[in-house]
Chains A and B, each alone.
Chain A
Amino acid sequence: MKTLRGPIIILLLAYAAVFGGIAGILTQAQANILSYGVIAALVALSLNLIMGYAGQISLAQASFQGLGAFVTGFVVAHLGASSPVGLPASLVASVLIGALIAVVVGLPALRLKGIFLAVATFAFADAFENYIFNVQQLTGLGSGITVPRPWLGPLHLDSSSAMLGFGLVCLAVVWLLDARLLDTRHGRALLALREDEQVAASFGVPVSREKLRAFLISGALAGLAGCLFAYQVQVVVKSSFLLEVSLTYLIVIVVGGLGSRQGVVAAAVLFTLLPRWFVWLQGWDVIATSALLVYTLVRHPGGLPEQLTEVRERRELKRRQETGDEVVGVRPELRDEGDGEVLPLPVTGGELTVQNVSVHFGGLNALVDVSLEVAPGECVGLIGPNGAGKSTLFNVISGFETPSRGTVLFEGRDITKAPAHARAALGIGRTFQQVGLVRDATALDNLLLAQHTSLPYGAAAGLLFSAGSRRLEREARERAKALLDEVGLADFAGLRVRVMSTGQQRLLELACAVASRPRLLLLDEPSAGMSPAAAEHLAEQIRRLRHRYATGILLIEHHIPLVLALADRCYVLDSGEVLVSGPTAATIGRPEVVTAYLGEAV
């Protein structure tokens, strides 16, 4: 129960805080500072979720928190200070308003990326600071609004140590949910988003929805932190939520290590405590912390946690080299299984029909009137010189490109306009020329991500450890391990993809492509960057997986021996048009194909 370790430690700390406060071991001044540290940790976790996990920048995090705090003040003012429902009502209200506003701020993220998203959230933060937080009725302007300490049922949380205890309980719950999130399909979808939206979509992740969900959860968390902040500070003023405060949280999570729960929480607490411990710094702390941020980004972009991971990985890789089990191959006992040339199962489904597809980029005709068919279970090659339009055709089939003319039918259904993630869910898997994996996630997580569409549980069910989601996750994990074992990567389950060799990454990508049980597999130059020997290995793996999972394959490949070994038929594309098609060996030998590849004979 590794997931429970963090929350249990935090709950013990909460217990210690409450009784330390009663016994007088923990002074109220100390508890006060620590309580701000815990609240900062909550905001940092909310920012970490959106930036560290989902890779979307937000410069408005303090605005979300501020809105939560002011809404808490509003609720308390209307319910009365001693109302027994004041605390729960304000908690719910601030969480809801934080989530709502974060989704609004996140909407531009559906179109904007990277620094332009930074600009958009910056503009929102500016508008909050100068407009919304200047609404007298909500924020009381200069004098602020007064929020008395709340009642938790019969208990009056009137001391800072009691508030600290309550804050720690909240932190424990958030920690648990945050840890759980990464074990669910929705959390893994965020990691895929951070890496590459195309890769995420090819895994069947609905990119827009998951992005907004990330903003929603992040805003809800920041709202919660705002509520606690209001009760802790008791007089809420807008200067606590200015743009520079958002920047401070950015510093905290970068220095703590983007994506690292422990690092981010530790950094948030330390950044709150240090300036108060070292009061003699008198303003130099701003200079020191920002210099630390710049230094971290320039020298150690992942922060301390990243360095620890790297050290661990290097040690593991070294151990593997020493024991000599670095070589990846087909395990002998599996080798014979798929050797038969006849498919073991009668294959149904997966037929693809591309009809008269044309794609124009400006004046360039990338594809002209291309038609192509893949029958159920058939392996079809797609060859042609560079720039012939092969990858464009793949993008049309998998939904990253909309054709100007023509239709794409999958299993008789018109999918010409369906979004990429929906096609993945329908049963079209694909690999990329540049390996389409989440490089910062482990091999196991990539295989779990690949099963995104076959794990039908909701976000809430996943977060709340529902029995159904736990069973589905367990099964997915077993399938992932079995697949890793099949392609000979079982030992690499816990290693991040970025430290694996190209050959290993290709094999993993292949395993990911079949993990979702597609009925049609699009392979884009699977042997690119591999040695001839490794490519031969790969051919064997592809043939075996094809027979085992009874899937049709459309294969782009420059390495002709691989095409000859795998493809029943092949199409030759040249300058966006189908030059010839037919049985592989006969077609490749035809003079016009040789000409297209090598130029006119002299």
Chain B
Amino acid sequence: MATLAVAQVPFTTMFVLGLAYGAIFAVMGLGIALVYKTARVINFAQGEIGTLSAFVAWWLIARQGTPWVVGAAGALAVACAIGYLMHRFVALPMREAPRMSLTIATLGVAFLLLGVELKVFSSSPEVLPAPFTVVSVGQFHFEGVRMGYFLLTPTYILALAVAGLAAAVLGVVLTRTRFGIGVLASAQDAVTARLLGIPSNRVSAFTWIAAAMLGAVAGLLIAPTQGIFYAFQMSGFLFFRGLVAALVGGMDSLTGVLLGAVFVGEVNSFSGFLFQGNSGVPELVLLGIVLVVMLARPRGLLGSTAAA
């Protein structure tokens, strides 16, 4: 049966799809890495921010009939607010707390967002329409790239473009602006950075907000590709893959996260297609990867070797 599946889906399709999903995982992974860099915690709410954003967009677009752009803007605004609230009411008061406690607190936030999704939005699977199915410029209509029976829709192409853009913007902000260098300095040594006059509160606020918005972007991109989406789905799917991407590539390195995401996207694509009968195989493979990477090279494949 496995060989049958291979025959149906050509190698290039699996590869391109892996790349497109990898782009979305990269957006998620960048958010996880950004928070880890400055706060030394893994934000377990990152995936749920994506799901909640998808719900906000769905509510605006499908229920209120607003254009896609308005829905996306609303979702990003909500994510921005969540990011700020996490900074102000969780990360800031717990600045001196053990990192494990803060990590558990982000699990609590994930659960809180889940509650909001179920209570305020919907407890059943919903459909978030794709931003566009046909891109029309004058006489020219673009429906996507046909690959065998599979159509690489503009959504996937958008995902690739947005992921590249997000990574580029983040890279420029972090390495080319005064503020961004301050963020990196705080990540290296928070106390010294504060003594040097880097506004640690604003750095923290920026980190959490930027990460939340990256989570929202990932959620908005992945929901249309999944057909349906539902509460808490993202934590198992999107968050986990973004996390593995960040771990494989090394939390310290933006390039590492991008490459890690491509790797995870391909692993996800190939293991998913080759074992179509069992949706659990990719999870098993990812578990193996997580363990091998964390045990053999705890700082990731491209992460710095300096002690934390």
Contacts and interface: CB of A to CB of B under 8 A. Distances in A.
B116 A287 contact: yes
Contacts of A123: 240, 244, 286-287, 290-291
Contacts of B278: 131, 134
Given A119-B294, A120-B291, A130-B280, A247 B107 contact: yes
Nearest to B240: A126
Given A126-B240, A293-B105, A293-B108, A287 B283 contact: no
Given A131-B283, A134-B278, A115 B103 contact: yes
A284 interface: yes
Nearest to A111: B295
Interface in A234-265: 243-244, 247-248, 250-251, 254
Interface string B94-105: 100101111111
Contacts of A284: 115, 119
Interface string B227-240: 00000100110001
B112 interface: yes
Given A294-B90, A301-B97, A127 B284 contact: yes
A127 B102 CA distance: 25
B291 to A, nearest CB: 6
Contacts, number: 135
A115 B112 contact: no
A115 B42 contact: yes
B94 A297 contact: yes
B211 interface: no
A108 B288 CA distance: 11
B236 A290 contact: no
A498 B101 CA distance: 19
Contacts of B102: 297
Interface string B257-286: 000000000000000000000111101101
Contact of B283 (A115, A130, A254): A130
A124 interface: yes
A293 B281 CA distance: 33
Interface string B185-213: 00000000000000000000000000000
Contacts of B279: 130, 134
Interface SS majority for chain B: helix
Contacts of A298: 89-90, 93-94, 105
B295 A134 contact: no
A57 B100 contact: yes
A391 to B, nearest CB: 17
Interface in A262-286: 282-284, 286
A114 interface: yes
Interface in A282-316: 282-284, 286-287, 289-291, 293-294, 297-299, 301
Contact of A294 (B42, B108, B232, B286): B108
B236 A243 contact: yes
Interface in A30-58: 57
Nearest to B289: A123
A287 B109 CA distance: 9
A118 interface: yes
Contacts of B235: 243
Nearest to B295: A111
B110 interface: yes
Contact of A287 (B94, B99, B112, B123): B112
Nearest to A293: B108
Interface residues of A, number: 42
Contact of A286 (B93, B100, B114, B295): B114
B41 interface: yes
Interface in A102-123: 108, 111-112, 114-116, 118-120, 122-123
A251 B111 CA distance: 10
Nearest to A254: B104
Given A114-B99, A290-B111, A293-B111, A124 B287 contact: yes
Nearest to B283: A130
What's the dominant secondary structure at chain A's contact region? helix
Contact of B115 (A57, A119, A286): A286
A129 interface: yes
A105 to B, nearest CB: 10
Contacts of B94: 297-298
A103 to B, nearest CB: 15
Contacts of B97: 297, 301
Interface in B285-308: 286-287, 290-291, 294-295, 298
B243 interface: yes
Contacts of B240: 122-123, 126
B236 A126 contact: yes
A297 B108 contact: yes
Given A131-B284, A297-B108, A108 B119 contact: no
Given A123-B240, A126-B236, A127-B283, A115 B41 contact: yes
Nearest to B111: A290
B17 interface: no
A108 B284 CA distance: 16
A118 B43 CA distance: 11
Interface string B162-198: 0000000000000000000000000000000000000
Listed residue (B123, B280, B284, B286) with the most chain A CB atoms within 10 angstroms of its CB: B280
A351 B244 CA distance: 51
Interface in B12-67: 41-42, 44
A208 to B, nearest CB: 14
Interface string A211-238: 0000000000000000000000000000
Contacts of B287: 123-124, 126-127
B104 A250 contact: yes
A114 B100 contact: yes
Contacts of B104: 57, 250, 254, 293, 297
B304 to A, nearest CB: 13
A126 B44 CA distance: 14
Contacts of A130: 236, 279-280, 283
A119 B243 contact: yes
A291 B112 contact: yes
B109 A119 contact: no
B247 interface: yes
B81 interface: no
Contacts of B280: 127, 130-132, 134
B118 interface: yes
Contacts of A134: 278-280
A115 B109 contact: no
A198 to B, nearest CB: 16
A254 B104 CA distance: 9
A263 to B, nearest CB: 16
Nearest to A113: B100
B184 to A, nearest CB: 21
B108 A112 contact: no
Interface string A542-574: 000000000000000000000000000000000
Going nearest first, the 7 A-B pairs with the smallest beta carbon separation are A131-B280, A286-B115, A287-B115, A290-B111, A293-B108, A290-B112, A130-B280
Interface of B: 41-42, 44, 89-90, 93-94, 97, 99-105, 107-112, 114-116, 118-119, 123, 232, 235-236, 240, 243-244, 247, 278-281, 283-284, 286-287, 290-291, 294-295, 298
Given A130-B236, A293-B104, A293-B108, 4 more contacts: A126-B240, A244-B111, A244-B114, A248-B111
Interface of A: 57, 59, 108, 111-112, 114-116, 118-120, 122-124, 126-127, 129-132, 134, 243-244, 247-248, 250-251, 254, 282-284, 286-287, 289-291, 293-294, 297-299, 301
15 contacts: A57-B100, A114-B99, A114-B103, A120-B290, A120-B294, A122-B44, A123-B244, A123-B287, A134-B279, A251-B111, A287-B115, A291-B112, A293-B111, A294-B89, A294-B108
